[in-house]
Chains A and B, each alone.
Chain A
Amino acid sequence: MAKLSISKLSFLQFGPFDLTVQPNECVVISGPSGAGKSLLLRAIADLDPQQGIISLDGKNNFLFSPIEWRKKVGLLPAESEWWYETVGEHFRHIESTWFTQLGFDPAIAKRAINGLSTGERQRLALLRLLTNKPAILLLDEATANLDSENTQRMEALISAYKQQQQAAIIWVSHDIQQIARIADKHFMLRNNSLTQVS
């Protein structure tokens, strides 16, 4: 568990932004497209150059190696990318319970990526990210391309992880019903300002 603090964070033409997310807290960010929501998550994951302060429990992000940082601050993009032939090759180590928790047969590790549905891929991408045991989860429209059944599965898994690991979560979402289900706090990112709406 860890607290994520962002202060005077700016990148490209966006910012400065301030935001704090406590352990076991889910902050939802919504706003018009092009407002910089995805870029904000990328900046926090240190995938793009940025100015300002990002810290975990008060420890500045440049005191971590980039590799350590991205393992602790896990970003799940809206679309998952896969580069090996089978599912299992994308996991450094595999515990079959991970798959069963998500409603998968452990044999899925041997299946070809090409044969998976979008929903399966996205759930597996989440699982792949969670194997790093990130203290912070950054979810970029994690369920935007999924049907309601798969969305529920994703939400259940994320909330279970949040509780177990006391994870702090920033979730970019547009779905009003989803926001009502998952958000502890809700911010709007609009006209280059981040304001709390609930």
Chain B
Amino acid sequence: MGIIELSLKDLMSAAALIIVVVIITIWQQLKLTKSIIISAIRTVIQLLAIGFILHAIFAQPKFIWVIALATVMLLVASHEAVARQKKRFSGGWNFSFSLFSLLFASFGITIFTLNIIIGAHPWYAPQYAIPLLGMVIGNTMTGISLSLNQLTQTVWQQHRIIEQRLLLGESAKQAIADIHRDSIRIGMIPSINAMAVAGIVSLPGMMTGQILAGISPIEAVKYQIMIMFILTTASSFGIMLALSLSSKRLFDERQRLRLDRLINN
């Protein structure tokens, strides 16, 4: 079973659909026109670029190239994870926390999967390593982003309660425990939901892709099951790491709540 290749004309037809959407947004005055056009152009440029890069790396699978690409993915994801937060830590701590958490959780889980579960040869074989890492980083990034946002927002809103608890002799950890837990939950819900509805409400993208590429649905499903598990694991680890670093940063060495360390984004 081969794959039907898309011609330039086919892509132009798809682009025509986006132009219809743009016309509708102008007519409805949704003020989204510029964002849609810019984002659509970004999609084309970014995907073409990664297409050429992957093409080159697949042709010459060197470890250094895989690492270089992984580093770029990590840096961009660390930035994006904190880009849309309402509050952030002053002095670049947000970026450092998400970088550190993404590095440990995503790279750790991906390396484990490549070596122990898939057993690719070499283990960094780009055909496996890059798409896998991409999915893991993307998922973990979303989780960290949601959790961090929840944590900083809630602490901002409930600082009087936290301070009251400190005044009664609770430790910083106790005073923030409920908020910390709720924030972790918020970040983990998307992964858990994705597992719960997989195959019923949604056909996961990777599985769809494999099926379109002609792989048997059973093989595609096996891969997807593994993916769901590692995505959930990586995002859970990433969230917990990022949140415990952030919760610590909210207090100083005398266990005072330091809201002055949070600034508006």
Chain B residues numbered 12-55 whose CB sits less than 8 Å from any CB in chain A:
none
Contact call A83/B165, Cβ cutoff below 8 A = yes
Complex-state Cα separation, A67 to B175, whole angstroms: 11
Given the complex, which residues of B lie within 8 Å of A67, measured CB to CB?
169-171, 255
Of the listed stretches B156-164, B187-195, B201-209, B218-226, name the one at the interface; the rest are far from the partner chain. Answer: B156-164
Contact call A45/B167, Cβ cutoff below 8 A = yes
Contact call A132/B254, Cβ cutoff below 8 A = no
Question: In the complex, how many angstroms separate the beta carbon of A48 from the nearest chain B beta carbon?
Answer: 6
Contact call A77/B255, Cβ cutoff below 8 A = no
In the complex, residue of chain A having the shortest beta-carbon distance to the beta carbon of B167: A75
Chain A residues numbered 115-139 whose CB sits less than 8 Å from any CB in chain B:
128-129, 132
Complex-state Cα separation, A45 to B255, whole angstroms: 12
Cβ of B70 under 8 Å from chain A? no
Q: How many residues of B contact A (CB 8 A)?
A: 18
Contact call B163/A83, Cβ cutoff below 8 A = no
Complex-state Cα separation, A180 to B183, whole angstroms: 49
Contact call A47/B166, Cβ cutoff below 8 A = yes
Complex-state Cα separation, A74 to B178, whole angstroms: 23
Chain A residues numbered 72-87 whose CB sits less than 8 Å from any CB in chain B:
74-75, 77, 79-81, 83
Interface centre among B161, B164, B167 (most CB of A within 10 A): B167
Cβ of B182 under 8 Å from chain A? no
Contact call B254/A77, Cβ cutoff below 8 A = no
Contact call A81/B256, Cβ cutoff below 8 A = no
Complex-state Cα separation, A45 to B256, whole angstroms: 10
Known contacts A81-B161, A83-B161: does B167 contact A66 (CB below 8 Å)?
no
Given the complex, which residues of A lie within 8 Å of B168, measured CB to CB?
70-71, 128-129, 132
Complex-state Cα separation, A83 to B161, whole angstroms: 7
Chain A residues numbered 37-86 whose CB sits less than 8 Å from any CB in chain B:
45-49, 62, 66-68, 70-71, 74-75, 77, 79-81, 83
In the complex, residue of chain B having the shortest beta-carbon distance to the beta carbon of A81: B164
Given the complex, which residues of B lie within 8 Å of A132, measured CB to CB?
168-169
In the complex, residue of chain A having the shortest beta-carbon distance to the beta carbon of B252: A49
In the complex, residue of chain A having the shortest beta-carbon distance to the beta carbon of B165: A83
Contact of A46 among B170, B178, B254 (CB under 8 A): B254
Known contacts A83-B161, A83-B178: does B167 contact A77 (CB below 8 Å)?
yes
In the complex, residue of chain A having the shortest beta-carbon distance to the beta carbon of B170: A67
Complex-state Cα separation, A11 to B8, whole angstroms: 67
In the complex, residue of chain A having the shortest beta-carbon distance to the beta carbon of B255: A66
Known contacts A71-B169, A132-B169: does B164 contact A66 (CB below 8 Å)?
no
18 further A-B contacts with Cβ under 8 Å, apart from A83-B164, A83-B165, are: A46-B256, A47-B166, A49-B252, A66-B254, A66-B256, A67-B169, A67-B255, A70-B168, A70-B169, A71-B168, A77-B160, A77-B163, A77-B167, A79-B160, A80-B164, A81-B164, A129-B168, A132-B168
Taking Cβ atoms with an 8 Å cutoff, the residues of A that contact B are 45-49, 62, 66-68, 70-71, 74-75, 77, 79-81, 83, 128-129, 132
Return the 8 tightest CB-CB contacts between A and B, nearest first: A71-B169, A81-B164, A66-B255, A81-B161, A66-B254, A83-B161, A75-B167, A70-B169
User: 28 A-B pairs, CB-CB below 8 angstroms?
Assistant: A45-B167, A46-B254, A46-B256, A47-B166, A47-B167, A48-B256, A49-B252, A66-B166, A66-B255, A66-B256, A67-B169, A67-B170, A67-B255, A68-B169, A70-B167, A70-B168, A71-B168, A74-B167, A75-B167, A77-B160, A77-B164, A81-B160, A81-B161, A83-B158, A83-B161, A83-B178, A129-B168, A132-B169
